[in-house]
Chain A
Amino acid sequence: MNLKKDPLNLIITGVGGQGNVLASQIVATAGIKAGLYVTVGETYGASQRGGPVMSHVRFSQKAQPSPLIPEGQADVVVGLEPAEALRVIADFGNPSTRVIVNPRPVYPIWVLSGQAKYPPVEEIVETLAGLVEKVDVVQASENQAGMGANMILLGALAGSGIVPVSAEYFEEAIREIVPPVDLASNLEAFNKGKRAF
């Protein structure tokens, strides 16, 4: 396996509670199984839920990468939430960045309280498309509780082949990391995402 760029930079972004950290842990474990150096840097604010969460996952064949991706250096962005995907592209995007995004908004409290506006999702996707190489919209929050969106997008990432780590390593990592009671539903969600691609 060869990285088209070293380090290869992935950002998984969303809102606290969407399973961002778990997703980054799985993709990174899969990378280590593929024999790579992988570093995951998490950035989250002071709140357990509701704040923006961003995981920087960096893959290298040469050395342990530093934990934060520099400005404009994201190769692929997985957005569990559309506005967060755009927030990340503003700082880390470049014309050859790929984006995989779940179009389901989670409204910030300032939007709920009327102090800020949330743009229409189509507008967000359009803006993204104008800034990056390709945007893939993957419906990942169809079921009512919104569970499994992280796994569906992870499946889509594995299916896209942008990160050169085989889906088998992803599945192995899921089996190791996800608690047994949630394993079947998570694998199902992962495969659903993989097929969507």
Chain B
Amino acid sequence: MPTVDLNQPGKTLLMMGNEAIARGAVEAGVDFAAAYPGTPSSEILEALARVADKLGFYVEWSTNEMVALQAATAAAFSGLRSLVAMKQNGVNVCSDFLMGVNLTGINGALVFMACDDPSGISSNNEEDSRNYARFADLPLLEPATFQEAKEMTRWAFEVSEKLKLPCMLRSVTRLSHSRGNVTLGEITREQRSARFEGTFVSGAFVPAQHALLHAKLEQARELFENSEFNFYEGPEQAKFVIVTSGSGLVYSREAVSGLGLQEEVGILKLGTTWPLPEKFIIDHLRNAAEVLVIEEVDPFLEQNIKVLLAEEVKNLGPIVVHGAKSGHCPAFGEINQEKVTRALATLNGREYKTRDEDYAQRAKQALFAVPPRMPTFCSGCPHRAAMWAIKAALKLDGRNGFVTGDIGCYALGAGPAGYWQIKTLHCMGGGIGLANGFGNLGQFGFDQPVIAVCGDSTFFHAAIPALINARFNNSSLLMAVLDNGGTAMTGFQPHPGSGFDARGRTAPVILIENLCEAIGVPVLVRDPFEVEQSIEDVYDMLQEDGAKVIVFRRRCFRIEAKENLQQKYVVDQAKCIGDDCGCARFCSRVFNCPGIIWDQEAKKAVIDENVCTGCGVCASLCPQGAIVAQGVKS
């Protein structure tokens, strides 16, 4: 893994987009960085954390994005260069503060890194954070390549410092999580001391503050008119121009060359997309009759450009704009080279075929033989046992109870991995919040018990106010905190319960059960691998009124297996009696751990050594006691 502090200007490395962003911050001399993990943004702070001590800057994993932004803002108020990074959903979380700090402005520099996840590849939704830049009147940059991700991050600190405003950068999954060539620049480090001076009170004469903000935005526009990140490539007097930003640039280039349209179609690439560099755009669309806007998720550029072209219609004459509204660049899902090529081909009367149709049909037919691969909990995952206990207890209870879900690995409980138990899923903290409402519907005849599942990191991030509400308003619910010791889904970043911080230093452990006790809700801590006891506990707690919490505590097996030798488990072929058992192949079919497979010839269960992690929970569940430990895994 390339370290982002390699001091060899001019050297070209393979870097992930997020590492390039981190490198840009290092080259700019970042002093303070804060983030909450979320795909596809997490590697930015991870990369920074690895070099923070060596280069002498501050990093933290904050409890949520709001706190991260506020902490980074304090550093900026004090004249430092700071950065905050998050995924799209995090922007929603901190938007309330964002809508105030835009008015007060800042002193040093604050780079606000938003990583969007088009198609929701690792998210429960898809959204376009660029709207927040327009919403909050903040300058917005969109890198198109790995190299630009580095250069733009570096420049964003200067823009922010100059305008005394947070500067927003928007990345997407295919940039943040892809890797490519990055040529290193020089690392600058200035010894800056922090000092707070001045007043930053939003709400003091709001219209005046808002007017000043608009004036700053006009300053940003002037800055952007001459930015090297905006450029035009292609024939001089092109009648057909693709206007694009971010990931759209490489797709557009490949579409133009793939269709052999280099002599006819130009590409107007914008790196600064709010406010728009209007003069620059007008200059380059002077000869255009048609424009195709290529961008990812919302028609953000498209709509802003349509407004500009309407305003300039006297100078430019009518220009037809194709994009989301015309159906050429979909306003949902990821874009890619094929989608852009298809749109360009249609609009230019070209044919586009990826492969021979007969062949394509034959190849697609082969797919029928390939079984689907649904995502599942890892073998050894404590969530499988916890979800099993919840399912069994709800069945025992018999009142048609259900589970409200939350954000984390355990969200897979909405599918086969967690026996389809989770019935709602929205945002961080959404499960316990909903459970609050369900738990107070008794006067309307509602008698279904509700269980809110919530991860440990999610508990600290967003669940505490809702739990307090449940106690305050006497809502009947059971909260099951699935505590696996870290933020597992995004790569096991630490949180306040982990005992260490972003730089690996020892940190105080904040115990979830202590917080619950302080709130005054009954709380029980249980190892989910004590399956029978877990079922009984959940059942018993469901019979009580009011808010209760059970903490299912067992460390994520991926971390456990790295630190400690694991037992090797085998199926005792003499004890397993196959389908004669009547267990319906409990271990493989019902409990459904991917570490246990079925031996077609022997007609018995067998452990898959390649997949089994040696957690042993199946040994306690097999009705024949046929799964036994046999030494230590190599």
Do these two chains interact?
Answer: yes
With CB as the reference atom, state the residue of chain A lying closest to B364: A90
In residues 208-258 of chain B, which contact A (Cβ within 8 Å)?
247, 250-251, 253-254
A100-132, CB under 8 A of B: which get 1 and which 0? 000010111111111011110001100100010
Q: Chain A residue with minimal CB distance to B334?
A: A68
A63-100 with Cβ < 8 A to chain B: 63-68, 70-73, 83-84, 86-87, 89-91, 93-95
Chain A interface residue number, banded = 35 or more
Contact between chains at A127 and B366 (CB < 8 Å)? yes
Q: Are B375 and A50 in contact (CB under 8 A)?
A: yes
Instruction: Mark out the residues of chain B between 585 and 634 whose CB falls within 8 Å of any chain A CB in the assembled complex.
Output: 585, 588-590, 592, 594, 596-598, 608-611, 633-634
Task: Please determine whether A28 and B373 come into contact, CB atoms closer than 8 angstroms.
Answer: no
Determine whether the beta carbon of A113 is less than 8 Å from that of B588. Answer: yes
Residues on the A chain within 8 Å of B585, using CB: 114
Determine the distance from Cα of A116 to Cα of B448 in the docked complex, in whole angstroms: 34
Tell whether B558 is near chain A: CB-to-CB under 8 Å: yes
A123 cross-chain contacts in B, Cβ below 8 A: 369
- CB of A38 within 8 A of CB of B14, answer yes
Check A1 for interface membership: any CB of B closer than 8 A.
Answer: no
Complex contact A177–B1 (CB within 8 A): yes
Q: Does A2 contact B (CB under 8 A)?
A: no
Given A17-B378, A70-B338, A112-B592, residue A48 in contact with residue B558 (CB < 8 A): yes
Q: B181 contacts the other chain (Cβ, under 8 Å)? A: yes
B583 within 8 A of A: no
| Contact (Cβ within 8 A) A144 B14 | no
A10-46: which residues lie under 8 A (CB-CB) from chain B?
15, 17, 24-25, 28-29, 32, 37-46
Contacts of B412 in A (CB 8 A): 46-47
Contact mask for chain B residues 165-183; partner A; CB cutoff 8 A; 1 contact, 0 none: 0000000001101111100
CA distance A108 to B416 in the complex (A): 12
- What's the Cα separation between A184 and B530 when bound, in Å? 40
- In the complex, chain B residues 354-413 whose Cβ is within 8 Å of any chain A Cβ: 354-356, 359-360, 362-364, 366-367, 369-379, 409, 411-412
CA distance A113 to B589 in the complex (A): 4
Q: Which chain B positions have C-beta within 8 A of A89?
A: 363, 366
Taking the closest CB of chain B, its distance from the CB of A170, in whole angstroms, is 13
Alpha-carbon separation in the docked complex, A112 to B590 (Å): 9
Given known pairs A28-B14, A110-B371, the reply for A66 and B337 (CB within 8 Å) is yes
Q: A73 contacts which chain B residues (CB < 8 A)?
A: 354-355
Query: How many angstroms between the C-alpha atoms of A118 and B180 in the bound complex?
Result: 36
Contact B366 A131 (CB under 8 A): yes
By a CB distance below 8 angstroms, the chain A residues around B250 are 64-67
**When the two chains form their complex, are residues B372 and A108 in contact, meaning their CB atoms are under 8 A apart?**
yes
- B589: nearest residue on chain A (CB-CB)? A113
Q: A70-B338, A112-B592, A127-B366 are in contact. Are A51 and B1 (CB under 8 A)?
A: no
B121 CB-CB contact with A under 8 Å: yes
**B473, CB-defined interface residue at 8 Å:** no
Give every chain B residue within 8 A of A24 (Cβ-Cβ).
Answer: 179
Is B71 in contact with chain A by the CB < 8 A criterion? no
Given contacts A110-B371, A144-B609, A145-B610, contact A65 B14 (CB under 8 A): no
Nearest-CB residue, chain A, relative to B375: A47
Contact B363 A104 (CB under 8 A): no
Instruction: Determine whether B493 belongs to the interface, using a CB cutoff of 8 Å to chain A.
Output: no
A110, B596: Cα distance in complex, Å: 12
Asked whether A66 and B375 contact (CB < 8 A) given A107-B594, A131-B366, A146-B609, the answer is: no
Question: Max chain A CB contacts within 10 Å: which of B177, B363, B634?
Answer: B363
The verdict on B474 contacting chain A, using a C-beta distance below 8 Å, is no
CB < 8 Å neighbour of B178 from A41, A131, A145: A41
Cβ of A72 and Cβ of B355 under 8 Å apart? yes
* Closest chain A residue, CB of each to CB of B611: A106
Partner of B634, one of A44, A47, A118, A144: A144
A41-63 vs B, CB cutoff 8 Å, 1 = contact: the mask equals 11111111111100000000001
Residue of B178, B369, B374 touching A124 (CB-CB under 8 A): B369
Measured CB to CB, the closest approach of chain B to A138, in angstroms, equals: 16
| 8 A Cβ contacts from A152-197 to B | 177
Q: How far is the CA of A111 from the CA of B337 in the complex (A)?
A: 34
Contact A87 B121 (CB under 8 A): no
CB distance from A61 to the nearest CB of B (A): 12
Which A residues touch B633, using CB under 8 A? 145
Q: Are B371 and A118 in contact (CB under 8 A)?
A: yes
- Known contacts A40-B178, A50-B376, A70-B337; can you find 14 more A-B pairs with CB under 8 A? A39-B179, A42-B177, A64-B181, A64-B250, A70-B354, A72-B363, A90-B364, A93-B363, A112-B594, A114-B585, A123-B369, A127-B366, A131-B359, A145-B610
5 contacts between A and B (CB under 8 A): A52-B373, A73-B354, A106-B608, A108-B372, A144-B610
A contact set with B: CB distance below 8 Å? 15, 17, 24-25, 28-29, 32, 37-52, 63-68, 70-73, 83-84, 86-87, 89-91, 93-95, 104, 106-114, 116-119, 123-124, 127, 131, 141, 144-146, 177
